[in-house]
Amino acid sequence: MDFERLTFHEVTRNFGRRRALNRVSLSCRAGEMVALLGPNGAGKSTLLSIAATLLSPSSGTVQYGDRTARTGGAALRARIGFLAHDLFIYPELSAAENLRFFARLHGLADADSVVDAALGRAGLEDRRDDPVVSFSRGMRQRLAIERALLHEPRLVLLDEPFTGLDDAAVAATRARLRALRESGCIVLLTTHDLEIVEQLADRAVVLSGGRLNTIDGHGSGLRERYRQAASS
């Protein structure tokens, strides 16, 4: 099952008496990278969780092509890769074991070679059998990124993917994301780093107090435009 477009239509999400998202409408197409900016608590993680089908909207719809989370079911989930703030890796297991588990869970043929390739890209081959609990934050982040992308998803959702990464890793990850976009994935990422947004994203949207504003991601003056959008 594949889809060309992710569409949020007037999505609202409440948590008890707190409104995390307020009539958010957003459309992303294949081969596009959208940066999601905004202050902490603005609802970015909630939006990503809804896109990942982990949460459902209180009102409004989310469509993947012409399907919803309900009609898409497991086949849809197989096309989504999600790097959350909590990294979704088991600290007691080794890097290789973590990847192998998720590879098998996704029913990937030839799990071992997939795992080897992923470890290579993350630069963790020499630490492959060490338990993740002994990894630094940056190493865990690299592993978590590979875990999210292991099954070659169509929709890639990344919550602050560059946290804890050194320059080399940032460059490698940037290249990876560019390659994903070139291959026709829909990439939606949140970040605080405006430089990355300028260099990488096609579009930038700002979530502030649950509301969404689009700003022009290219060219200088991004910081100023962002500040304006975030404070409105």
Partner 1 sequence: MQRLFLPLTLLVAAMFAYAPVMIAQAPYESTMLLVQKIFYFHVPSWFVMFSGAFLCAGASVVYLAKGSRNADHYALTGAELAVVFGLMGLITGPLWARKAWGVWWEWDVKLTLALVVWLTFVAYLLLRRYGGPGSEKLAAGVGIFGAANIPFVYYSVNWWRTIHPKTTVVPTLRPGMRGTFWFCVAAFMLLMVLIVAVRVRLERQRALVDDVFLDLED
Partner 2 sequence: MTFLRVVWLVMRKDLLVELRSREIVYTTMFFAVSCVLVFAFGFVREGQPMGDVGAGILWIAVAFSGTLALGRAFERERQSETLRALILAPVDRPALYVAKLLGVLLLMAAVEAIVVPLVALLFQAPLFRHLAMLLALLAAGTIGFTAVGTLFGAMLSRARSRDVLLPILLYPITVPVIIAGVRGTSALLQADPDPAVARAWLSLLVSFDVVFITLALWTFEPVMTD
Total residues contacting partner 2 by CB under 8 A comes to: 29
Structure tokens at 159: 């919550």
197, 217 in Cβ contact below 8 A?
Answer: yes
Structure tokens at 60: 């409004």
Q: Can residue 19 be called a binding residue for partner 2 (CB under 8 A)?
A: no
User: Could you say which of 4, 5, 7, 19 contacts partner 1 (CB under 8 A)?
Assistant: 19
Q: Can residue 213 be called a binding residue for partner 1 (CB under 8 A)?
A: no
Indicate the residue among 17 and 219 with the shorter CB distance to partner 1. Answer: 17
Q: Give the separation between CA 106 and CA 84, rounded to whole angstroms.
A: 18
Stretch that binds partner 1, among 16-24, 137-145, 146-154, 189-197 (CB under 8 A): 16-24
26, 215 in Cβ contact below 8 A?
Answer: no
Indicate the residue among 7 and 14 with the shorter CB distance to partner 1. Answer: 14
Radius of gyration for the chain, computed over Cα atoms and rounded to the nearest angstrom: 17
Indicate the residue among 105 and 171 with the shorter CB distance to partner 2. Answer: 105
Q: How far is the CB of 50 from partner 1 (least distance, A)?
A: 14
* Residues within window 37-66 making contact with partner 2, judged by CB under 8 A: 52-56
Instruction: Report what 80 binds from partner 1, partner 2, none; CB cut-off 5-8 Å by kind.
Output: partner 2
Query: Furthest-apart CA pair in the chain: how many Å?
Result: 51
For tokens 């079911």, the residue is 73
Classified as helix, coil or strand, 226 is helix
Helix 95-105 vs helix 137-149: crossing angle, to nearest 10: 20
The pairing of beta strand 203-208 with beta strand 5-15: unpaired
Stretch that binds partner 2, among 16-24, 26-34, 74-82, 201-209 (CB under 8 A): 74-82
Query: Which strand (E) or helix (H) includes residue 104?
Result: helix 95-105
Instruction: Report what 19 binds from partner 1, partner 2, none; CB cut-off 5-8 Å by kind.
Output: partner 1
Edge-to-edge order in the sheet of strand 18-29: 18-29, 5-15, 59-64
Q: Can residue 138 be called a binding residue for partner 2 (CB under 8 A)?
A: no
Instruction: Report what 16 binds from partner 2, partner 1, none; CB cut-off 5-8 Å by kind.
Output: partner 1
Q: Which of 72, 55, 49, 56 is nearest to 2 (CA)?
A: 72
Total residues contacting partner 1 by CB under 8 A comes to: 7
User: Could you say which of 2, 10, 27, 75 contacts partner 2 (CB under 8 A)?
Assistant: 75
Residues of the shown chain interacting with partner 1 in the complex, contacts defined by CB under 8 A = 14-17, 19, 22, 211
User: What is the binding site for partner 2 (CB under 8 A)?
Assistant: 52-56, 74-78, 80, 82, 84, 86-93, 97, 101-102, 104-107, 131
